[in-house]
Structure 1
Amino acid sequence: MALPHNPTFNAGTDLVSEEAWPVGTVWHYTTAAGLAGLVGGKVLWASAMAFMNDSQEMHTGKAVFDKLLETHAGEVDPHIRENFSYMVQAALRNDRYRTFIACASRLPDSLTMWRNYTSEVGFAVALDGTKPLLMRRQRRITEKMIGAVGYHGEESRQLVRELAANGSADFAWTPAVYDPAEQYKSAYAALRGIEATALARAESREMDRHELDAIADAAKVLPTFKNPAFRDEAEMRIVCGTGIHVDLMHLKHRPGRYGMIPYVELGIPEDRSQGLEDEPEPMADLPITGVVVGPTPYPEEARVGVLELLRSHGHETVPVIESRIPFRS
């Protein structure tokens, strides 16, 4: 198969090998419908954590933090225990229904991923994982939405308007942590960071980090912990969320095995400063750098179909590779 020139990969190596692709490449496994959404819709879905395939999502991380708190509570300075406890509980209070996760893998041709995340024929889409993604604004915020939050003071309502105007934060790909020792180490460091901040405040010293930053650091660690049973997935994930006061700008719903699943769309807005009217904000192309066609009895037809899809959306130079894993009916 002749491959077009593309500087993003090393054509002299096996293209279904992780080593053939630039550091930071992530592979999102999906169905044909998902591929069409990535290429044509220019967005990646991030589903609410409560609806992930691992039923213990969030519980894994919380269990690690709870164990540390149980075994090391005596190490915390008595003068700051109340504030320390408050900050820790704030970090652990992640809403599983408003924390959204998009999943990928470091591996371009994984039997585990083909089995778990694709259908009759699946696709692994290579994305440049060094480029952060943002939550797509689906609708402009209205005064009715602001009023529903419950804020009555004009100052508070104006803050909501400003947050809505700023749009989404940048969200980066992060590796899932499977090793219990690494989970323990990361959780311990996060708790020590909270302790240091609480102690500096109690002693009226200048804090290296603001309390909210220390809480946020711990809250970001929590969703990266994953049950070791899923280690074969070599998962990379984007964990994102939005405040309850502006979540309706981003939120969508789709049917799934649990009923209605809340999710958000991730991508790269064409113009982050552009005002929003009644349509979702325009998105630029996702940083797609390759596609692997999964095991199928019709590899050539599947490959050509992907090439045509890519070509129709201006991705003529994106390589399409066939899986090396044999199809079994």
Structure 2
Amino acid sequence: MEVVPIDPDVPEVVYHYTSLAGLAGMLQTHELWASHPMFLNDRTEMTYASELVIDKLRARAEEILRLPANSSDVHEDRPEERAAVVTAAAESVENLRKDVPPRIYVASFSTEGDVGAMWQTYGAAGCSVGFRTEALERDPDRLGLAMRRVSYGEEEWTRRGRVDELLAPFPLDAVSELSLSMYSGIYAGRWALQTLLTVKDPSFGHEQECRLIVPEPQMREASRFEEGVRAGRGRLQPYVRVLFDPSAIEKVVIGPEIGEDGELSIQAALRLFNYFDVTVEPSQSSYRP
């Protein structure tokens, strides 16, 4: 199983913007839907990230090729073999649009629950649901769930250590235990895919997104997850249901176009489905339709 570091840049509460229909579904089923990132409506999100990851991996492969071969009591270090695995990881990212990609899913959140630009995107007649990050990451099935803060642009991505994270399994000076598993060819491409989910084009910066990443290993054996598919815009969208405890919700921020009756109905629904101690607040943003 991949080891996903805890992200110190993720706040204690993150917000999921949704419609009232989406809120009703979450309250009744205690589940979120995480989508496959390769079949999102806006493909440019993945194009920008893919190009960054491919460039970094190919540059590392070239660095490794320039290293002299050496031997030790543990293993013989063959730079050309190590470089080939890094190149294969880059090619797996490059071919994501051509091949059936690994089963990995993401659910999107924001660090802010009341942003005018987000209401414009997701609908001012909806709401944002504040989830406790720790409750979402709590993982009884030990699948390596992780909430990751998205970086906007290469500079921020590098500053947050994501490039070092991407290249950690492919060191220049020594072959670590983690990198040995990568060099077996099992995880290299999937590791790269998981890392590229943490960067987007700077034009999306207003989203201040965090992503709950649901990896593939052992998912089918875990009771907390159920995979499915739904129709999207000209494509089918694979997704996975992620169950959460009602205590995971801390706050609901009501969209600017929802009136007093709507607020009361949300409070009633929260009580009906045993969501206690949840704060309900109207939007205070300067949203303009």
Asked if TM exceeds 0.5, the reply is yes
| AA aligned opposite 1:209 | L
In structure 2, the residue matched to 1:25 is 13
Q: Deviation at 1:114?
A: 1.0
Equivalent-residue separation in structure 1 for 2:54 and 2:11 (angstroms): 35
1:245-324 matches, cutoff 5 A:
246=220, 250-268=226-244, 284-285=245-246, 287-296=248-257, 298-324=258-284
2:96 is equivalent to residue 122 of structure 1: no
Structure 1 residues 304 and 188, CA, compared in 2 at 3 Å: closer, same or farther?
closer
| AA aligned opposite 2:254 | V
In structure 2, the residue matched to 1:240 is 214
Q: TM-score, normalised to structure 1's length? A: 0.67
Counterpart secondary structure, 2:212: strand
In structure 2, the residue matched to 1:195 is 170
Does the Cα contact within 8 Å between 1:291 and 1:320 map onto a contact in 2?
A: yes
| AA aligned opposite 2:145 | F
Equivalent-residue separation in structure 1 for 2:243 and 2:249 (angstroms): 11
In structure 1, the residue matched to 2:151 is 177
In structure 2, the residue matched to 1:212 is 181
Q: Deviation at 1:221?
A: 1.8
Counterpart secondary structure, 2:236: strand
Q: Deviation at 1:252?
A: 0.7
In structure 2, the residue matched to 1:84 is 83
| AA aligned opposite 1:86 | V
Q: Structure 2 unaligned segments of length 5 or more: list them.
A: 1-9, 69-77
Does the Cα contact within 8 Å between 1:111 and 1:325 map onto a contact in 2?
A: yes
| AA aligned opposite 1:288 | I
In structure 1, the residue matched to 2:5 is none
Equivalent-residue separation in structure 1 for 2:199 and 2:22 (angstroms): 26
1:221-240 matches, cutoff 5 A:
221-240=195-214
**What do the CA deviations read for 1:153-187 (whole angstroms, capped 9, x no partner)?**
xxxxxxxxxxxxx9561412111011311334645
Counterpart secondary structure, 2:256: coil
The aligned length equals 255
Higher Rg of the two aligned structures:
1
Q: Deviation at 1:26?
A: 0.1
Does the Cα contact within 8 Å between 1:43 and 1:286 map onto a contact in 2?
A: no
Identical aligned residues as a percent: 26
Does the Cα contact within 8 Å between 1:45 and 1:263 map onto a contact in 2?
A: yes
Q: Deviation at 1:315?
A: 1.9
Q: Deviation at 1:59?
A: 2.5
Does the Cα contact within 8 Å between 2:116 and 2:288 map onto a contact in 1?
A: no
1:67-78 matches, cutoff 5 A:
67-71=55-59, 73-76=61-64, 77=67
Q: Deviation at 1:257?
A: 2.0
Structure 1 residues 285 and 245, CA, compared in 2 at 3 Å: closer, same or farther?
closer
In structure 2, the residue matched to 1:41 is 29
Equivalent-residue separation in structure 1 for 2:136 and 2:203 (angstroms): 28
In structure 1, the residue matched to 2:4 is none
Equivalent-residue separation in structure 2 for 1:114 and 1:259 (angstroms): 26
| AA aligned opposite 2:132 | D
Q: Deviation at 1:208?
A: 4.4
CA RMSD of aligned residues (A): 3.2
Q: TM-score, normalised to structure 2's length? A: 0.75
Q: Structure 1 unaligned segments of length 5 or more: list them.
A: 1-21, 136-165, 202-206, 269-283
